[in-house]
Every structure is written in C-alpha cells, then in structure tokens.
Amino acid sequence: MEPLVHTMTDLSGPHTQILLSYEVRENEANATTLAKFLELTKKTFVIKEVPLQDHHPEFRSDDIRILNLFLKQP
C-alpha cells in the first residue's frame, strides 16, 4: 500500500485532483485495509468524500464511495 501512496504523491502537483472509488464491504479485513490506506494518504493529501447526491444518477449506490484527493499545501 505504501508504494501506491508514494506513487500518487510523486505524480501529483499543486493542481492535481485524484478521484478514487471503493465499495464498502462489511468485514474486518476490508475495514482494516481501508483505515490503513486512509491513514497513509492523510499524511500527504486532503481527502474529501464526494456526496452521494453528486454521483452520477445511473451509477449511484449506497455502498460506493468516491474520494477526492488533493496534495496538502505547505
């Protein structure tokens, strides 16, 4: 997971916007993985969740999350 976050950081600039999506799954392993990813990502990025009402109506689902990531500014 660290290599992914490192690559995202290296490829991002001050105006880069990264959109990530994931499916919410109700098990401990996935929750742990997501928590670790968010912990690593929050060190470098500002994370904002895209509200469900802003998802495309045809593809909107309660178990899909979309995150918008921006590099933290110094």
CB-based contacts of 58-63 (< 8 A; 24+ apart in sequence): 63/23, 63/24, 63/25
Residue 56, CA distances (Å) to 3, 39, 49, 66 in order = 30, 28, 14, 11
3-state secondary structure of 37: helix
Domain that holds residue 54: 2-71
Kindly tell me if the per-residue pLDDT of 74 is higher than 90: no
- Provide the pLDDT for residue 26: 86
Domain count, the chain: 1
Q: Tens digits of per-residue pLDDT, 9-68?
A: 999 999 999 999 999 988 998 999 999 999 999 999 999 999 999 999 999 999 999 999
pLDDT band for position 72 (cuts 50, 70, 90): very high
- Provide the pLDDT for residue 43: 97
- Provide the pLDDT for residue 40: 98
- Cβ contact 65:30 at 8 Å: no
